[in-house]
């Protein structure tokens, strides 16, 4: 989401270097959206390595200004087709592997949106369908119209709303969960003295102590907790931490191999972030 042109100098934050380092490390999913305004950049970074990438893109958010959250949602069938063609052109690819509706619509029934997305699958322009920012009812209705492969929602130690209704529905339907912001937008990297108000001192302290025991970082422990959700809930879970530097990318990759004990996981599970 935060990859941008203007830093292509071959350094630690060169977006091409970041994506290539991810592919070299065995990461396969590259996730973008038309709303991120970086599809052309993403297309350039994977050029020549397309067969190594599970390319995910999203549509539906139409920005109305520069202020965060200032957007409309377009999910009508005509826009579905228009958005896909535009993304394919900007990305420079013939097919998108996983195509998401970025946000639920209050005006267009989700069956209509998914029906149009399913036509893209039939036409060979999209391989699988996903949803983001939806309700459990949306997911169930959409899945009845066409199989939904993935549900992308925020999930971290400081944002666990997904566990109430969406997660059980995804598990029942066999839908993979793609967890964005698994480090709480960077909050879970911080020490108790600098922690965000959403992070209790107890949670931050626990992360620090577990990190010390494993000779790793708070952020890596928090990310490892999300990786362990697959075992806890019986559903495929793919965290996608936002990464703009090669160094940070390598830290994130290492977190996938961090095995937390039952007691450590239980300690983190029972610590709830303040609202």
**pLDDT given for residue 113 in this prediction:** 98
How sure is the predictor about 186, in pLDDT bands with cuts at 50, 70 and 90?
Answer: confident
Q: Does residue 103 contact residue 152 with C-beta atoms inside 8 Å? A: no
Q: Give the confidence band of 25 by pLDDT, cuts at 50, 70, 90.
A: very high
Q: Give every CB contact of residue 232 below 8 A, 6+ residues apart in sequence.
A: 265, 269
Q: What is the mean pLDDT of residues 124-129?
A: 98
What's residue 131's pLDDT? 98
271 pLDDT higher than 70: yes
**Digit-coded pLDDT (tens) for 155-181:** 999 999 999 999 999 999 999 999 999
String of DSSP letters for 6-66: T--SSSTT-HHHHHHHHHHTT--EEE--GGGT-HHHHHHHHTT-GGG-EEEEEE-EEE-SS
Report the chain's mean pLDDT, rounded to a whole number: 92
Closest residue by Cα to residue 240 from 155, 167, 161: 155
CA distances for 26 relative to 20, 52, 194, 215, angstroms = 10, 9, 33, 23
Helix (H) or strand (E) holding 177: strand 176-180
170's tokens: 């995804």
CB atoms within 10 A of CB 147: 15
pLDDT 10s digits, 193-210: 555 555 578 898 999 999
In the chain, % of residues over pLDDT 90: 83
The pLDDT value recorded for residue 197 is 55
> Average pLDDT of 10-39?
94
Q: What is the pLDDT of residue 187?
A: 86
- Cite the active site residues: 36
Amino acid 65: pLDDT: 64
User: Residue 67: pLDDT above 60?
Assistant: no
Q: Report phi then psi at 143, rounded to 5.
A: -65, -30
d(CA 248, CA 13): 10
Question: What would you measure as the largest C-alpha separation in the chain, in angstroms?
Answer: 54
Residue 70: per-residue pLDDT = 76
* Tens-digit pLDDT profile for residues 70-117: 789 999 999 999 999 999 999 999 999 999 999 999 999 999 999 999
Q: What is the sign, positive or negative, of the torsion defined by CA atoms of 53, 56, 62, 65?
A: negative
Domains and CATH numbers, the chain: 1-148 (3.20.20.100)
- The pTM for the full model equals 0.92
- What is the C-alpha separation between 238 and 179, in angstroms, rounded? 6
Give the N- to C-terminal CA distance of the chain in Å, as an integer.
Answer: 25
> CA angle, 85 as apex, 83 and 86 as ends, to 5°?
65
């Amino acid at each position: 989401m935060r990859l941008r042109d203007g830093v292509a100098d071959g350094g630690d934050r060169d977006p091409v270097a970041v994506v290539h380092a991810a592919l070299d490390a065995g990461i396969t999913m590259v996730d973008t959206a038309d709303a991120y305004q970086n599809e052309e950049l993403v297309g350039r970074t994977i050029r020549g390595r397309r067969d190594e990438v599970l390319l995910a893109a999203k549509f539906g958010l139409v920005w109305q200004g520069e202020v965060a959250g200032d957007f409309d949602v377009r999910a009508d069938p005509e826009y579905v087709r228009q958005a896909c063609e535009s993304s394919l052109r900007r990305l420079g690819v013939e097919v998108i592997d996983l195509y998401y509706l970025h946000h639920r619509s209050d005006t267009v029934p989700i069956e209509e949106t998914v029906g149009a997305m399913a036509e893209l699958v039939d036409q060979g322009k999209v391989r699988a369908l996903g949803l983001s920012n939806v309700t459990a009812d949306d997911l169930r209705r959409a899945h009845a119209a066409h199989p939904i492969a993935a549900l992308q929602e925020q999930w971290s130690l400081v944002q666990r709303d997904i566990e109430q209704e969406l997660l059980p529905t995804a598990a029942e339907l066999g839908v993979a969960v793609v967890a964005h912001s698994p480090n709480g937008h960077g909050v879970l990297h911080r020490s108790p003295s600098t922690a965000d108000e959403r992070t209790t001192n107890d949670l931050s302290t626990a992360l620090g102590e577990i990190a010390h025991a494993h000779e790793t970082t708070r952020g890596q422990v928090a990310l490892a907790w999300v990786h362990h959700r697959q075992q806890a809930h019986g559903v495929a879970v793919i965290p996608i931490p936002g990464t703009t530097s090669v160094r940070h990318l390598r830290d994130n990759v290492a977190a996938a191999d961090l095995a937390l004990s039952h007691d450590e996981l239980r300690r983190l599970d029972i610590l709830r972030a303040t609202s």
